[in-house]
A and B are shown apart, each in its own frame.
Chain A
């Protein structure tokens, strides 16, 4: 246990504890810290699913109520732009995953580069949506 860390600096919850680099003061081990972060992000994703779940429910309801309107409006979509945007979207997932990988392996510059690339691809996606 990290009981030795307690006596070290009881007054500072802002300062780094110096005991172990990158380990927040309230965690006992890197494993606990990583597990907590993973569980946290998964829980956050659950909330996102519920958040958009409301929208999807509304979409599903109206799609079943007015199928012909949805069919008619689908003819106004462009297959070329849609295909292009799908590629952009999937590519941005790849660059994001590479950024995470860069962060995990300690290649900060690489991670930052991929993050910027992800942002650019995201903007491209939005711009194409504008057409």
Chain B
């Protein structure tokens, strides 16, 4: 990276304000990427790696839906099917959704949004990408050596005493990737506390930053617990220490407690950053300040805190005491309060706004609808009676896909479309991107809505064959998955196309407020040529070409 240091006063800018050197052309070569400490480049490293895992996890989903197109288990043996849905879950959750928005968009944007030159610990940031990659490669290696078939939840005693697949290797892979997530969270917390630009008080922070702050708290407090739980699985499996083995006095349900103490909040690791993205999109494309800014900000923190108190709702039928069940049921319903605050406040922001239908906004509106369905079915599942009926059925599958795919991935794609011009300095084709938003929305609903009905009728999850009367709905779901897959392929193609052939993006193509739009696209290596000073709250729309809240500082 030192090669271009001689390009010294590169503050030399063209009249329209774009610098000749930016973070992408500041240095070339593999080494300049693999040893970089620039948060923007690390974000792109993450973007490439999580896309690979998304594609692999998607491939597993394709195979699962192919098998389920017919009632007979004719395509795969049952044990192969078990491996398919397990690896689909492991890859999608631990290697795509959890790092997803924070490690790509958060990494790229948080320093830009708070007017900093980098995250507080650039080396640790790079380290976390290497940890992520090491964990990912280990998991892929295990995948090639038979994979794992316990379900992504690794429940004992199945995972410790019975299966013969690569539980240890995948466990270690997740353990290592978990530390990458912890370090990212730590980096964000310190950065948001200590690196804000002069004048950028907590209540002037964009809601994207608030969402990531709440996410980081969960990463810091939750991930270590699942790490130790997985380590205990490994110890139990190799040394038979008996923590989870009833024959030795252990308790298998203890694993479920430790696992869900993290893995339920982990759902909020996936959704909170996405909500942050949606707040930015809704405000920008309605040309209005977000309605009830402080409520939306504190709702993020509220979700993070409540998220730690609801893990027992995964164990209503696992032998947990009925009194604990009642308490967890009530607490789980309380999560709906901050979530609903967000949905209502976004809707109130839309009200009387001047809404424009750009691609990111289409994704945002899709998010609001799908997240509402996912959230409301979550309230249904929090009630003990309904949960006993639909536990371990496709109703659960549909519910959490509405949150994780309909919520988290819609937000991720919306955010990617919104900040793509900032990240690459290029625009993508308008028609195709709008079409992709539509195709994803339709494909998603056709895939997962039938699964609510299937689950309610009693089709259990994790089986490769089913009674013939469920076939119509399953074929619908598989057909929808094909459409959804096409919808995901389109951005992949036109984003890659746009990097070379897309028209050059201006600094602020959407006319948005926010510090990241005040610098050039793509940003210079140290983000801002002049230290920004903030004098006003965020979202002061209608924004003129250069937003009024930024004045040139000392």
Contact = CB atoms under 8 A, between A and B. Distances in A.
Interface of A: 1-3, 6-15, 24-26, 32, 35-36, 39-40, 43-44, 46-48, 50-55, 57-58, 61-62, 65-66
Contacts of B2: 11-12, 14-15
A39 B194 contact: yes
Contacts of B254: 58, 61
Contacts of B243: 58, 62
A10 B7 contact: yes
B524 interface: yes
The 9 closest A-B pairs by CB, nearest first: A11-B4, A54-B228, A51-B224, A26-B118, A26-B117, A50-B224, A12-B5, A1-B531, A14-B1
Contacts of A50: 220-222, 224-225
A123 to B, nearest CB: 23
A13 B524 contact: no
Contact of B10 (A1, A7, A65, A66): A7
A35 B194 CA distance: 7
A66 B242 CA distance: 13
A66 B248 CA distance: 12
B526 interface: yes
Contacts of A55: 228, 232
Contact of A66 (B121, B221, B249): B249
Contacts of A44: 186
B62 interface: no
B186 A47 contact: yes
Interface residues of B, number: 64
B8 interface: yes
A2 B340 CA distance: 43
Given A26-B116, A47-B224, A53-B225, A13 B38 contact: yes
Given A11-B10, A13-B122, A51-B227, A1 B553 contact: yes
Contacts of B250: 62
20 contacts: A1-B553, A6-B531, A7-B11, A7-B529, A9-B5, A10-B19, A10-B526, A11-B1, A11-B2, A11-B10, A13-B525, A25-B118, A35-B194, A36-B194, A39-B194, A43-B186, A50-B221, A50-B222, A54-B229, A54-B261
Contacts of B10: 7, 10-11
Nearest to A65: B249
B247 interface: no
A11 B526 CA distance: 9
Contacts of A1: 198, 531, 553-554
A54 B232 contact: yes
A120 B325 CA distance: 50
B8 A9 contact: yes
Given A10-B19, A40-B187, 14 more contacts: A6-B528, A6-B531, A7-B11, A9-B8, A11-B27, A13-B38, A24-B122, A25-B526, A26-B116, A26-B119, A47-B223, A48-B224, A50-B222, A58-B243
Contacts of A25: 117-118, 526
B177 interface: no
Nearest to B186: A43
Nearest to A52: B228
Nearest to B4: A11
A39 B191 CA distance: 10
Given A2-B531, A10-B526, A13-B122, A40 B228 contact: no
A58 B9 CA distance: 59
Interface string B104-130: 000000000000111111101000000
B36 A43 contact: no
Given A1-B554, A11-B525, A47 B182 contact: yes
B315 to A, nearest CB: 15
B258 A15 contact: no
Interface string B178-203: 00001000110111011100100000
Contact of A54 (B7, B38, B224, B251): B224
A110 B222 CA distance: 38
A36 B225 CA distance: 25
B144 interface: no
A35 B191 CA distance: 11
Nearest to B526: A6
B526 A43 contact: no
A53 B118 CA distance: 32
A40 B494 CA distance: 40
B486 interface: no
A6 B529 contact: yes
Contacts of A39: 189-190, 193-194
B228 A11 contact: no
Given A9-B8, A58-B243, A61-B251, A15 B1 contact: yes
Nearest to A25: B117
A61 to B, nearest CB: 6
